[in-house]
Amino acid sequence: MKKSLKNYFRGNKKTLFIFFVAFPLLCIFFSLFIGRYPLSASTILKIIGSKFTTEPENLPPIYQTIIWNVRLPRIILGLLVGGSLAISGTAFQSLFRNPLISSGILGVSSGAGFGASLAIILFNSPLMIYLLAFAGGITAVLLSYLIGRIYNTNPTIMLILGGVIVSSVFSSLISFLKYMADPYEDLPSIVFWLMGSLATARFKDIMIAAIPMLVGITGLILIRWRINVLSMGDKEARSLGLNTSLNKAIVIFCSTLATAGAVCVSGIIGWVGLVIPHIGRLLIGNDNRLLIPISLSLGGCFLIIVDNIGRILTGGEIPLGILTALIGGPFFVYLLKKTKGGAW
């Protein structure tokens, strides 16, 4: 069953096109209907069409606000964030040849969390939260890289150990900031940000975060065939004429950009970068030329669907980090039982 499914996806380019393009578009369209304020399909089509016609439709202003200021930016940001986390996780898992690695392995998430927590306490400005969260994520990766070069042994293992150390340190610093924060104003904001959410999504947020995410995504897509070579091991990659140090640095840089750009606007959302690559491997195998685009599409759609569930499941809004853990954990166990490790 697994082999026939893989062969079907590998040999059917139309199906791959559906996953890569049509499926995200369908998720975006149907997500426009979901919310506390019901809108019909004709109303939504009129609202979208009014942006491209000289004669605007005679619709209540609240309809325009719901679609253009609330739902659509949230959906687009979810697509970008989910795709960035998934594609980064895929690249890291292939690069380090470890199926348990996710997009935050080098401390990006914890570093961004520290930066955001610091910004909430000192400035409480959305722009400063984005900037310091992004800076914290980049700083964490740089520290992981420097720690990994302290001892001249297996660079891959040392880099992962550096990420574990940096993540632990920044997690402790986050706890310290939570201890020092105002329990009535700053602390709730820090806790909610760390749980992950797209509730504050606006088009200006997309403009800020889209640049590093798109740069990272584009870079990984362009060099995805080289990730195949790197996943064979350093000796094999060098024998094929590949500069392993340079190409590893490019993969890490692009993955870090995509992850940091995602985390700085959405908070810490786990499991996307761990589970989605395994689903992609279950469908099309380990070929990163296909796996990376498919992971990008699946990750974006997964986060949109989870965000829709979080918005309608209760009277309030469930943070994304909680839902992705509740869904991703059991589903990852199912994947392990289903594939018996064969998807890797």
- pLDDT at site 216: 95
- pLDDT at site 247: 92
Going by the DSSP 8-state scheme, the letter that residue 241 receives in this structure is T
Q: What is the pTM of this model?
A: 0.91
Distance CA 205, CA 46 (A): 26
Choose between 160 and 155: higher pLDDT.
Answer: 160
- pLDDT at site 152: 66
Distance CA 209, CA 75 (A): 14
Cβ–Cβ contacts within 10 Å for residue 344, how many? 15
Choose between 187 and 125: higher pLDDT.
Answer: 187
- pLDDT at site 22: 85
Number of domains present in the structure of the chain: 1
Using one digit for the tens of pLDDT, what is the confidence trace for 8-31?
665 666 677 777 788 899 999 889
344 belongs to a structural domain = no
- pLDDT at site 57: 60
- pLDDT at site 39: 81
Torsion-angle region of 153 (φ positive above 0: left; ψ -120 to 50: alpha; else: beta) = beta
The contacts of residue 116 (CB under 8 Å, 6+ apart) are: 129, 132, 133, 136, 190, 193, 194, 264, 267
Return mean pLDDT, the chain: 86
Q: What average pLDDT score do residues 95-115 get?
A: 88
88 belongs to a structural domain = yes
100 belongs to a structural domain = yes
Using one digit for the tens of pLDDT, what is the confidence trace for 216-253?
999 999 999 999 999 888 888 888 888 888 999 999 99
**pLDDT of residue 283 exceeding 60:** yes
Q: Which two tokens stand for residue 299?
A: 């990750």
159 belongs to a structural domain = yes
318 belongs to a structural domain = yes
Q: How far is CA 1 from CA 6, 14, 222, 270, 342, in A?
A: 9, 20, 31, 30, 12
**pLDDT of residue 342 exceeding 90:** no
Using one digit for the tens of pLDDT, what is the confidence trace for 29-52?
889 988 888 788 888 888 887 777
CA angle 85, 91, 94 (to 5 degrees): 135
**pLDDT of residue 163 exceeding 80:** yes
Distance CA 307, CA 199 (A): 9
196 belongs to a structural domain = yes
**pLDDT of residue 340 exceeding 80:** no
- pLDDT at site 329: 84
Helix H, strand E, coil C: the string for 182-228 is CCCCHHHHHHHHHHCCCCCCCHHHHHHHHHHHHHHHHHHHHCHHHHH
Q: Which two tokens stand for residue 176?
A: 């310290």
294 belongs to a structural domain = yes
**pLDDT of residue 331 exceeding 70:** yes
State percent of the chain over pLDDT 70.
Answer: 91
- pLDDT at site 90: 94
Using one digit for the tens of pLDDT, what is the confidence trace for 294-330?
999 999 999 999 999 988 887 778 899 999 999 888 8
Distance CA 104, CA 119 (A): 20
Provide the domain limits for residue 211.
2-339
Q: Which of 54, 49, 48, 52 is nearest to 68 (CA)?
A: 48
305 belongs to a structural domain = yes
CATH number at residue 133: 1.10.3470.10
Give the three-class secondary structure for 250.
helix
- pLDDT at site 282: 84
- pLDDT at site 55: 54
- pLDDT at site 153: 65
Q: What average pLDDT score do residues 212-218 get?
A: 95
The contacts of residue 268 (CB under 8 Å, 6+ apart) are: 104, 109, 110, 112, 113, 194, 195, 196, 321
